[in-house]
Amino acid sequence: MSDAKAVENLITITIDGKEYKTKEGEYILNAARANDVFIPAICYLTRCSPTLACRLCLVEADGKQVYACNSKVKEGLEIVTQTPNILEERRAIMEVYDVNHPLQCGVCDKSGECELQNYTLELGVDSQSYMIPDTKRETANWSSVLHYDAGLCIVCERCTTVCKDMIGDSALTTVKRGGAELDKAYKDTMPKDAYAMWNKLQKSVIAPSNGTGYTNCSDCGECIAVCPVGALSSRDFVYKSNAWELKRIPAVSAHSSDGFQIYYEVKPTSIEDRSEKIYRVTNEWNYVSLDGSARFAYDFENRDAIKDQKAFIQAIEAFKKAKTIRFNSVITNEEALMLQTLKEKMGLKLYNPEVRAFQKFLAHYAEASGQSLYSTDADAIMKKSDFVISVGMALRNDSPGLKYAFNNVQKMNKGAGLYFHPVGDTLIPSFGKSVECFIHKAGMEEAALYLILDLFADKEKLPEEVKIYINSFKRINKETIKEKVMKEVVETVIDEETGESKEVKKKVPEMVEKEIEVEQNGLVELLGKESSVFADTFAKMMSKKEAFSLMVGEDFYYHPKAENLAKLVALIEKASAVNVVIAPPKSNALGVALICDLDDEAEGYTIGYNENGDFKLSALGEGDLDMPAMNQQEGTLTNMSKRVVPTNAALAYGGYELNDLVRELIGAPKETIDWTVKLPISKGFKAVEFDTLSNGYTNDGVENRGYLLDILIKETQMPKVEKFNEADALEGEIAYRCNPARQFSDFTDKAHEIFEPFALYASRAKAESLGEKAEVVFENGSIVLDVIADDKILGDIVKVPDFKSAQNVYELFGGSRYKNVTIRKV
Amino acid sequence: MEATTLGIVIKAIIILAIISAVAGFGTYLERKVLAFMQRRLGPMHVGPYGLMQILADGIKLFTKEDIIPQNANRLIFALAPAITAATAFIALSAVPVFPDFTIPSWIPLLGGTFVPSVAADINIGILFVLGMMAAGLYGPLLAGMAQANKWGIIGAARTAIQFLSYEVVTGLSILAPIMIVGSLSLVDFNSYSSEHAWLMFTQPVAFVLFLIGGFAETNRTPFDLLEHEAEVVSGYATEYSGMRWGMFFIGEYANMITISVLTAVVFMGGYNDMLFLPGWLAIILKIAFVFFLMLWVRASWPHVRPDQLMWLCWKVLMPIAVINVVITGIVIMV
Amino acid sequence: MGLEQFKNRNVGMQNYRMLDLGQTPTRSFDKFKQVVKRTFKGELFVGLWVTLREMVNSLFRGELHTVKYPLEKLPISPRYRAIHDMLRLLESGHYRCIGCGLCEKICISNCISMDTRYDENQRKEVSEYTINFGRCIFCGYCAEVCPELAIVHGSRYENASEQRASFSLFEDMLTPIDKLNLQQEYDGFGAVTPYADDHIKKTPLAY
C-alpha cells in the first residue's frame, strides 16, 4: 500500500545532467543517496534534523548554492554536485577540519573507517593553508560506557543530534571550548562557508548537557555509532582493535522485541587463544538505532561448551519422563517450532508465562479486530505518524524502539504525543512541547482507552452503547472563575510644583467573579489531569495532525481485564484513524506466540530451557546440558515489525543443540535452519529457505531483511466492549514488574558491559525513604533487593526487575504487572 | 745380509700398516692440497689443522651401514673390494719402499733382525708389479658387474677398456728402461741409477708415457672415467657403502703409492743418497713429489672424454712407446 | 631511412662478433697437427702453474677465501631482511611500536598478530606482539609500512631453532634496554652497502 502511494509521488530531478526519480518532499541529499549519487556530507543523519555543521553537502540547485541536507527536491530541479567554487569550499572545509586534528591515526580506533580520513582523501587535501593555536582538550569518561576524546572531536554534532532527535535522552550538547579567536584576515581570504564552519568549530566542543560531566543517560551508545571520528568510543573498546581486523557478522539483536539489525564484529580473542570473540556491535546507524542492550550486551555466549554425551543421554531421559517444557522468549522461531513439534508428538506441555499473556492478548485482539496482527510498527510510525499515544508500557524500559519512534515523531514530524502510565517519568515530557503525560492509577488502563476513543474515534462508527457510556463521563459544570477586567477609574492628582489638582483617567485591573459553563470530561479527571486545561492543550496538539498511532504494551497483557482491553484496542483501530502497535514483551515473543500453543500451567517433571526446571537446558552455562546462546546459532526471529529476520552465528559453539535432542527424540532434519521452511504458513509465515533471507538496508533506507509476516484478515463485527470499574484502581504501596533500560534477561545480565543491577528501582524521594536495602513482600513470597534511585521515575510505585529467571519474579507477580506489596526496610 | 723370514714378515707388516695409514693420510693430503690450490682451507676441525680427519673418516666408514643391493651377486659383491685392496698391497711387496736396515739389537725379541728393502726381491719385480696391478682390474670390474646397477655396469665397462688399454702403454713405455738396465728387478734399477744418470733424463719419452699410463691405471684425473660423478654417479662403486667402499678407496691410494714408488725407483734414481740427502729421505721426497703431482694435476686439468681416452691410447701413446723402444734398441745396438 | 634493416630477419647475427677460433680440422693429418700443437704449446703447464701459484698465495700470502662461518661472520648487506627487530626510542627508551596494526594488515603471509589495550597513561599499549616465523617469508612489507620505524629487519639470519616460537615474541625482538646505545637504525631497502665504492670493479671483459 505504502509502495503504491510512493510511486504516485515520484518526481524527476536532474543531478549532474542525469535524470533521477525521487519522492516529493525529500531532501536533495537523501534523494541523491537513494539514487546512488555521492554527495559528501559529514554532519547529516538520515531520520534526524539537519544540523548544517559541516557544510560539505553544498550543491548547486537551479544555479543557486544550497545545502543538500536541508533543501528539498522539487519537480525538474537541476542539481550540480561539483562546481569549481563548491570544490574549493569543500577542500577548505576539510583543511579546516584537519587543522590541529591530532595525527594519531596510528593508534586511533576509528582509523580505517574514519570519515575524516575518507573525506580528506576524497577531497584531495594534500596541504594545509590554515592554522590556529590549539586548545588543550581533555579526554573524559561520560558514563560506564562512553569515552570521549575531545582532541579528536570535529564537532559535527551528530552525537547531540541523534541523542536528541532519535534517542530522546538529549544528554549531549555543544559547550564553549575556549579556543583562540580566528585571525580576522581569514575572513577575506578563505571561502565563506569554510570560514563560518571554522568559526563555529573553534568555539565549541561536546559535553553532557546536564553540566555534570556525566551523561546519566540510557547508555545506548548510539552517539558512539554515529561519531565519524574516534572522539566517541566505548570505554571497553578503546585501543582494543583496529576496524579492519574485525569480521562483521550480520545478526539480530537478541534482547528487546525490536529485533534491531546489528553486526557482531569478531576477531580472535588473543594471540594464545585463537577462538573468536565479539569485540563490539555496530549497526547501520542511518537506518536503525540500537538500544543499550543491543549494542553492549553481546558477550552472552555459552563459552567452552562441549558435546557432553552423558548429559545428552540424561537430557533424552529427562525429556522422556517430562510433562512440561518451560522456556522464555529468547529462542529462535526454529527452536519454537521444534518445541511445538515436541508438544504435538510427545504430548508435552509448553509453559512460558512471559509470552502466554501476550499470546492471549493477541488472540483476543485478532478475534475482535479480524486482523491476525496489529497494523503498524516503530519504523512506520517514524516515517508517517505525527501523533503517538503510548498506553500500558514503561516506554523507556520495555520497548526502546517505540521510545525512539515516540521521540522521533515529536522532533521530526512536528508531532504530538500522549503517554499514559501509572509510573511517572521525567524523560518523556522532555521529548517535545506537545507531549502530555497522564500519570493514572494502576488498573485504569481501560479508562485511558475509553479516553482515546473519545478523543480520536469517529463517533459515527462507534456502537451506540459505547457512545452513551463515554458521554456518561461528561458533565457540563457551572464554574466560578475569577477574571481580570480592566476598569476605568478617575483619580485626582495634585501637581507638586504647581499645586494644581487634576483629574486623570486610568485603567486599573480588577478581579471579577464570573460564572461560566465548562464541559468536564470525567475520563480525563479519572486519569489524573485537569479536564479543562487538557481540553485546550489537546486542541493545540491536534492542529494539523493527520496520522495517529497507538502503542500498547505489556501492562495490558497482564491486566485482569486483558480481554476487554484487547477489544477496546481493536475498537479504537476500527472506529478511528489510529494505527496500533502491540509491543511484544521481549526478544522473540511474537514468534513464540505465533508458533507455539502455550499452556497456562506447568505440571509434573519440568524441563527448563534457560529457565528453572527439574532438568535445565541452558545457554547460560549453568544448566544440565549446554545450549547455544543467540549469538552462537543461526535462525530467524520475529520482531515487533512483524518481520521474520535471519540472525547468524557469530561465535563457535561446541555442544549439542536443541535440534540434536529433537532428532534423537522424534527425528529432525540435519540443521536447525532446515526448520525455517516449515514455519506455519497458517500463522503468516512463508515457506522460505533460511539461506535466501537477506539482512540489510538498501541505500535509500528500505529495510531489506527477511520477510514480512502475512496478516490474515477476516470480516468481523464491531467488538463488544465492557465497561470498566473505577474500583479496580490499585491503591496503596505498589510494585511494578519492570526491568531497567538495557536489561531484558539473564543474557543481558551476563554481558560485561551491562551494569544495571538486579535491584529495586524507585524515584529519588521514595528511594531515600527506603534506605539501602528493602524487602518487598508479596502475597506469595518476598524478595530482598538493593534500592536504587532513578531520577527519571516519578511517584511512589517501585520497579522490581524480572530479568533474572532464577529469582522467579514472574511467580511473585502472578498474572499481573502491578501488585500491592508491603515494602520493608532491611 | 740374507733376508730372514722374520725380516720379510716384519717388512710385510710395515708395508701393510704404513701404506694403509699413508693411504688414509693421502686422502687428507689430497683434500688439503686441492683446498689450497682453490684458496680454501680444507679440513680444519678434527684435530689441529684437521689432522685427525682420517680418524673421523675411518670411524665413519667402519660404523656406516653395510648395504648389499637386493639383486646383487652377494659373494662377488663382497669379494670385489678385497681384490682391489689385496692386489694393491701384493704389488707393493715387490717394490723397494725403504733401504735395507737392521733392527737395533737393544730392542727385545726382534733385535738384530735384518729387514730387506723389498719384501719379495724377485728378479722379475717390475713384471710382477705391473701384473698385479693389471690383476687389480678384477676389483672394479667384478664390483660393477655384481651390483646390478646400470651405473655400475658402465663403470665396469669403462674399467675394462681403460685398464687394459693403458696396461699396454705402461708395459711398452717401461720396456726401454728395462732394455737399458738389463734386468726386471727393481733393486737392479736402483743400483743402475746409483752409477748412471737418472732414467728420466735418458728416457724422457718413456718417463712421460709411464706417468700418463700410471695416471690412467690409478684412475686419476684426467682419466678418472671409472667413477666420474657427473657421468656415471659413482661408476663401479655406486652401490658400495661403509668399509667395503673404504677398501676400494684404500686400494686406489695404495696403487697411487705403488706408481709413485715405481716412478721414483725406475726413473728418478731410487733410494740412493742424493747430494746431502740420505737415501731414505730422498726416496720419500721423490715419492711425495710424484704423489703431489697427481693431486696437482687433478686440481689443474679437466678430464677427457672416453673416446679421447681411447684415441689417445691407441693412436698416440702406443705408437710413440713402440717407436721409443725401437730407437732405444737401435741406440743400444750401436 | 630505408627498410633494409627491418627486412633483414636474420636476427641474432648483427650485433655479435664471432671469436676467431680457426677452422675445425677435417683431415686426419690436420687433427694430428692440432694435437701436436696443443701438446707442445705448453697450455697444460699454464694450468699447472695457475694452481701452483694459487697454492703458494693461499699458503704463504694468506689469500684465502674461506670464512670459518660460525666463528667468523661476514657483515650482511643493510638491505638484508633477517629476523625482525623492535627498536626503542633513543631518548626515552620506550619501545617505538604504537600498535597501529599496519604490519598486521599488510603481512601477506598473515603471520603477525598483536593485542593492544588502553593503558593507565591513556595510551595504546601493545600488550602482546608476535610474528610466526614458521610462516614469515621475510618480504619486508612490515618494516616498510611501519610509520614509527619500530619494526625493522635486524641482523639475525640464523633462524634454525628447536622451537618455532624461539624468537617470535615482542620481548625477543625488542632491543634490550641496556644495549640501547648499540641500537642500529635500519637503512632499508634502497640502502647501499657500506664502502660500496671500494667494491666496484671494472667488468672483467679481458678474460
Task: Summarize pLDDT for B178-216 with one digit per residue, the tens.
Answer: 888 888 888 888 888 888 888 888 889 999 999 999 998
Closest CA to A178 of A229, A137, A132, A231: A137
Of B37, B297, B316, which has the smallest distance from its Cβ to C54's Cβ? B37
Phi, psi of A137 (to 5 degrees): -125, 125
Of A107, A139, A271, which has the smallest distance from its Cβ to C100's Cβ? A107
For residue B292, the distance in angstroms to the closest alpha carbon of chain C comes to: 11
Q: Is residue A223's pLDDT more than 90?
A: yes
Q: What's the confidence (pLDDT) of residue A5?
A: 46
Range scoring the smallest mean pLDDT among A164-168, A194-198, B256-260: B256-260
Range scoring the smallest mean pLDDT among A127-141, A597-611, B299-313: B299-313
pLDDT confidence tier of residue B120, bands split at 50, 70 and 90:
confident
Cα C38 from chain centroid? 43
Mean residue pLDDT of chain B comes to 85
Closest CA to B259 of B222, B298, B304, B212: B212
C113 and C171 in a common domain: yes
Q: Considering only CB atoms, which chain B residues are within 8 Å of C65?
A: 39-40
A neighbour chains, 3+ CB pairs within 8 Å? C
What one-character-per-residue DSSP string does A266-329 give?
EEES-SS--SEEEEEEE--TTT----HHHHH------TT----HHHHHHHHHHHHH-SEEEE-S
Quick one: CA torsion of A403, A408, A409, A413, rounded to 10 degrees? 180
Q: Sign of dihedral through CA atoms A165, A166, A168, A170? A: negative
Judged by a CB distance cut-off of 8 A, whether residue B297 touches chain C is yes
Closest CA to C88 of C168, C170, C189: C170
Of B41, B296, B300, which has the smallest distance from its Cβ to C64's Cβ? B41
Which residue range(s) make up the domain with C52? Answer: 28-60
Give the SS3 label for residue A592.
helix
Contact C148, C97 (CB under 8 A): yes
Among B34, B37, B41, most C C-beta atoms within 10 A, so best to mutate, is B37
pLDDT confidence tier of residue C183, bands split at 50, 70 and 90:
confident
Q: Considering only CB atoms, which chain B residues are within 8 Å of C68?
A: 41, 44
Q: Is residue A726's pLDDT more than 80?
A: yes
Q: What's the confidence (pLDDT) of residue B316?
A: 86
Spatial separation of the C-alpha atoms in residues A295 and A477, rounded to whole Å: 53
C178 and C113 in a common domain: yes
Q: Is residue C135's pLDDT more than 90?
A: no
**Cβ <8 Å between C98 and A106:** yes
Query: What is the grid cell recorded at A595?
Result: 508458533
What one-character-per-residue DSSP string does B6-43 give?
HHHHHHHHHIIIIIHHHHHHHHHHHHHHHHHHTT----
C neighbour chains, 3+ CB pairs within 8 Å? A, B
Q: Is residue A38's pLDDT more than 90?
A: yes
Mean pLDDT of B291-298: 91
Q: What's the confidence (pLDDT) of residue B225?
A: 79
Mean pLDDT of A746-761: 93
Range scoring the smallest mean pLDDT among A285-289, A512-516, C91-95: A512-516
C177 and C90 in a common domain: yes
Cα A302 from chain centroid? 27
- CB contacts < 8 A, B to C, total 40
**Cβ <8 Å between C99 and A105:** no
Query: What is the grid cell recorded at C179?
Result: 644495549
How much of chain B is helix, strand and coil, in % rounded to 5?
70, 0, 30
C128 and C55 in a common domain: no
Judged by a CB distance cut-off of 8 A, whether residue B44 touches chain C is yes
Q: The pTM is what?
A: 0.78
**pLDDT tens-digit readout, A775-818:** 999 998 999 999 999 999 999 999 999 999 888 898 899 888 99
What one-character-per-residue DSSP string does B131-178 give?
HHHHHTTHHHHHHHHHTT-HHHHHHHHHHHHHHHHHHHHHHHHHHHHH
C92 and C55 in a common domain: no
C173 and C120 in a common domain: yes
Mean pLDDT of B134-161: 88
Spatial separation of the C-alpha atoms in residues A589 and A353, rounded to whole Å: 11
Residue C112 lies in a domain: yes
End-to-end CA distance of chain C: 39
Nearest chain B residue to C55, by CA: B37
Using a pLDDT cut of 70, give the percent of chain C over it. Answer: 87
Judged by a CB distance cut-off of 8 A, whether residue C109 touches chain A is no
Q: Considering only CB atoms, which chain C residues are within 8 Å of B41?
A: 64, 66, 68
Half-sphere CA count of B69, side-chain side, radius 13 A? 18
C169 and C98 in a common domain: yes
pLDDT confidence tier of residue A6, bands split at 50, 70 and 90:
very low
Residue C4 lies in a domain: no
Q: Interior CA angle at A420 toward A415 and A421, to 5°?
A: 135
**Cβ <8 Å between C47 and B39:** no
pLDDT confidence tier of residue C166, bands split at 50, 70 and 90:
low
Contact C94, C150 (CB under 8 A): no
Cα A193 from chain centroid? 36
Spatial separation of the C-alpha atoms in residues A326 and A612, rounded to whole Å: 8
Range scoring the smallest mean pLDDT among A136-145, A443-452, A757-766, B301-310: B301-310
Q: Is residue B110's pLDDT more than 80?
A: no
Residue B216 is inside which H or E element, if any?
helix B204-217
**pLDDT tens-digit readout, B216-266:** 888 888 888 777 778 888 888 888 888 888 888 888 888 888 888 889 888
Residue C150 lies in a domain: yes
C112 and C53 in a common domain: no
Q: Is residue C8's pLDDT more than 80?
A: no
Between the alpha carbon of residue A139 and those of residues A150, A291, A309, A483, B97, the distances in Å are 6, 24, 52, 57, 98
Contact A751, A298 (CB under 8 A): yes
Mean pLDDT of A20-37: 92
Judged by a CB distance cut-off of 8 A, whether residue B74 touches chain C is no
Give the SS3 label for residue B61.
helix
Contact B185, B122 (CB under 8 A): yes
Task: Kindly state the DSSP code that residue A163 receives in the 8-state scheme.
Answer: I
Q: What's the confidence (pLDDT) of residue A792?
A: 92
Q: What's the confidence (pLDDT) of residue A4?
A: 43
Residue C122 lies in a domain: yes
**Cβ <8 Å between C47 and B296:** no
**Cβ <8 Å between C100 and A271:** no
Judged by a CB distance cut-off of 8 A, whether residue B36 touches chain C is yes
Q: What's the confidence (pLDDT) of residue A7?
A: 52
C87 and C56 in a common domain: no
Of C98, C105, C114, which has the smallest distance from its Cβ to A107's Cβ? C98
Q: What is the ipTM of this complex?
A: 0.79
Q: What's the confidence (pLDDT) of residue A426?
A: 92
- C→B contacts (Cβ < 8 Å), by residue, are 35, 44, 47-48, 50-52, 54-55, 57-59, 63-66, 68
Q: What's the confidence (pLDDT) of residue C12?
A: 58
A314-341 exposure pattern, b = at least 16 Cβ within 10 A, e = fewer: ebeebbeebbbbbbbbbbbbbbbbbbbb
C131 and C92 in a common domain: yes
Range scoring the smallest mean pLDDT among A245-254, A386-395, B62-71: B62-71
Contact A555, A358 (CB under 8 A): no
Q: Sign of dihedral through CA atoms C35, C37, C41, C43? A: negative
For residue C141, the distance in angstroms to the closest alpha carbon of chain A comes to: 17
Mean pLDDT of C115-128: 90
- Parallel, antiparallel or unpaired: strands A435-438 and A416-420: parallel
Q: Is residue C203's pLDDT more than 70?
A: no
Query: What is the grid cell recorded at B64?
Result: 656406516
Residue C151 lies in a domain: yes
Q: Which residues pair with A707 in a beta bridge?
A: A644
Q: What's the confidence (pLDDT) of residue A435?
A: 94
Cα B110 from chain centroid? 30
Residue C130 lies in a domain: yes
Q: What is the CATH number of the domain that holds C131?
A: 3.30.70.3270
Q: What's the confidence (pLDDT) of residue A1?
A: 39
Q: What's the confidence (pLDDT) of residue B278?
A: 82
Contact A311, A623 (CB under 8 A): no
Q: Considering only CB atoms, which chain A residues are within 8 Å of C122?
A: 139
**Cβ <8 Å between A245 and C104:** yes
**pLDDT tens-digit readout, A640-696:** 999 999 999 999 999 999 999 999 999 889 999 999 999 999 999 999 999 999 999
Residue C73 lies in a domain: no
Q: What's the confidence (pLDDT) of residue C164?
A: 67
Q: Is residue C10's pLDDT more than 70?
A: no
Spatial separation of the C-alpha atoms in residues A57 and B119, rounded to whole Å: 113
C149 and C109 in a common domain: yes
End-to-end CA distance of chain A: 58
**Cβ <8 Å between C123 and A139:** no
Contact A400, A748 (CB under 8 A): no
Q: What's the confidence (pLDDT) of residue A32?
A: 94
Mean residue pLDDT of chain A comes to 91
Of A240, A245, A268, which has the smallest distance from its Cβ to C117's Cβ? A240
Mean pLDDT of B312-317: 88
C174 and C88 in a common domain: yes
Judged by a CB distance cut-off of 8 A, whether residue B299 touches chain C is yes
Domain count, chain C: 2
Quick one: CA torsion of B246, B249, B253, B259, rounded to 10 degrees? 130
**Cβ <8 Å between C68 and B316:** no
Query: What is the grid cell recorded at A802?
Result: 524480572
Q: What's the confidence (pLDDT) of residue A271?
A: 87
What one-character-per-residue DSSP string does B247-266 give?
HHHHHHHHHHHHHHHHHHHH
Between the alpha carbon of residue A270 and those of residues A240, A750, A752, the distances in Å are 11, 21, 18
Contact A676, A689 (CB under 8 A): yes
Query: What is the grid cell recorded at B117?
Result: 728393502
Judged by a CB distance cut-off of 8 A, whether residue C112 touches chain A is no
Spatial separation of the C-alpha atoms in residues A695 and A646, rounded to whole Å: 7
Q: In terms of DSSP H, where are the helices of A142-190?
A: 158-162, 185-189
Judged by a CB distance cut-off of 8 A, whether residue A782 touches chain C is no
Residue B236 is inside which H or E element, if any?
none
Q: Is residue B273's pLDDT more than 80?
A: no
B neighbour chains, 3+ CB pairs within 8 Å? C
**Cβ <8 Å between B39 and C66:** yes
Nearest chain B residue to C45, by CA: B300
Phi, psi of A527 (to 5 degrees): -90, 10
Give the SS3 label for residue A575.
helix
